[in-house]
Amino acid sequence: MTAVVLFDAGRLLDRSGRDAPTGVDRVCLAYAEWLGTRPHTRVVPVVAVRNRLRAVDPGHFRAEIRSLRQRWSGDGAETAGEQALVRALTGQAGGPSILDVEPDPPRLSLRRVRAVRQALASRPLPPPSPGQAYISVGHTALNTPAILADLARRGVSSTIMIHDLIPITHPEFCRPGDGARHHRRLCNALLHADRIVVNSDHTADRLRAFADREALIAPPVAAVPLGLEPVFLTRGTTPSPAAYFVHVGTIEARKNLAFLLTLWRRLQERMGPATPGLVLVGRYGWENEAVLDHLQRSPNLQGLVHQSAGLSDASLARLMRGARAVVAPSSVEGFDLPAVEAMAMGVPLIASDIPVHRELVAGARLIDPLDGLGWLSALEAAAVSPTVAPAYAPPTWTAHFERVDAFIGLPA
């Protein structure tokens, strides 16, 4: 029996021009590839246009998937961005800390441009029929109840992934209006989805608490840790002669990077020429003005802290393996893939003592995200005397999809 799966491709098509993925992008790509290789499964890629699902040409979507995989994984060779970082870390390049183009002011028309592109790349979708399944793992098509409610009326089962509740629990870290938008998404998922997948027990607890506050009955919820790409699964480090630390993630307020850069200025004042470097790998997000002020204007950080983005997985893995430690001082997370990747590779991890880190990377050096002196002590010690990371059993996509497959109940 063939399973027909309507897979929401909206987020991946939005990302078609990006050189490197976010954590959610990685999940979308992994699901697209899994469904595309699953036996007895016919994947119908769809996008939401004006509260209706439209079909995307399967050949076009498969080509996009191949292109994204090739670009995001890399071919193993050093990229220009990696070479620039190596020169900066070894003192072969001066100049500003920002190695990428600085962010443009937010443009409100960007969402509309994306919507137009999706509409042009799509076509009417034949009415879904009972027994089909709809899967959305990118927080897409949830802003109104229209799509999920229509699928339910037609007998199509829907599975939604929720990555976090941060816009609701910590709206101060997000764009204005994101809290209300995410509130609608969660209510629509809870009311109309047949099942919900989340990435951690912490996210599951938050979701159930939200449902209780809203007096909603949650459908079945499965907490299934995300998998890692193969390049991050091999344990082994190659410490660089030039001491440096790495942070990986979007440059946004919840990552606590202004705090981290304040620490680095104090490290420079205490350690002088022996101060280790710091690499921030990630695109610019929202509420990043304080971080940009440090990178652009702090004389103590010039030539010491470097920001870059667009690294392939191969380049990123090499950079992380050479670091004294990966640092993850976030105030809040739903999962935190880079922290898990560091532990999987055996790279020492210094992370904030928050619930999701206690759940997923308990063997790391965990410090309260407000404990400046504790962080200073840990960073200075790791710079002077590199440590050995503890043994760690990383989550894999194979294990993830085995559990998800059983949870969804698609025909084998």
Q: pLDDT tens-digit profile of 151-166?
A: 999 999 999 999 999 9
* Average pLDDT estimate for 184-209: 98
Q: In whole numbers, what is the pLDDT of the chain averaged over residues? A: 90
Per-residue pLDDT at 290 = 84
Per-residue pLDDT at 118 = 55
Q: Is the pLDDT of residue 107 over 50?
A: no
Per-residue pLDDT at 92 = 52
Going from N- to C-terminal start, the domains of the chain cover 3-71+127-227+397-408, 79-104+229-384
Q: Is the pLDDT of residue 372 over 90?
A: yes
Percent of the chain with pLDDT over 70: 93
214-221: Cβ within 8 A, 24+ apart: 214/187, 214/190, 216/187, 216/190, 216/191, 217/190, 218/190, 219/190, 219/193, 219/194, 219/195, 220/194, 220/195, 220/196, 220/407, 221/195, 221/196, 221/197
* Average pLDDT estimate for 330-346: 97
Q: Is pLDDT larger for residue 132 or for residue 291? A: 132
Choose among 333, 384, 375, 371: nearest CA to 354. Answer: 333
3-71+127-227+397-408 and 79-104+229-384: same fold? Answer: yes
* Average pLDDT estimate for 172-193: 96
* Average pLDDT estimate for 377-384: 96
Query: pLDDT of 244-288, one tens digit each?
Result: 999 999 999 999 999 999 999 999 999 999 999 999 999 888 777
Per-residue pLDDT at 386 = 84
Q: Which fold has domain 3-71+127-227+397-408?
A: Rossmann fold (3.40.50)
Q: Is the pLDDT of residue 111 over 60?
A: no
Q: Is the pLDDT of residue 64 over 60?
A: yes
Q: Is pLDDT larger for residue 117 or for residue 157? A: 157
Q: Is the pLDDT of residue 90 over 90?
A: no
Q: Which fold has domain 79-104+229-384?
A: Rossmann fold (3.40.50)
Per-residue pLDDT at 100 = 58
Per-residue pLDDT at 120 = 53
pLDDT bin (cut points 50, 70, 90) of residue 303 is: confident
* Average pLDDT estimate for 337-353: 98
CA distance 264 to 329: 13
Total-model pTM: 0.92
Per-residue pLDDT at 340 = 98
Q: Is pLDDT larger for residue 403 or for residue 288? A: 403
pLDDT bin (cut points 50, 70, 90) of residue 16 is: confident
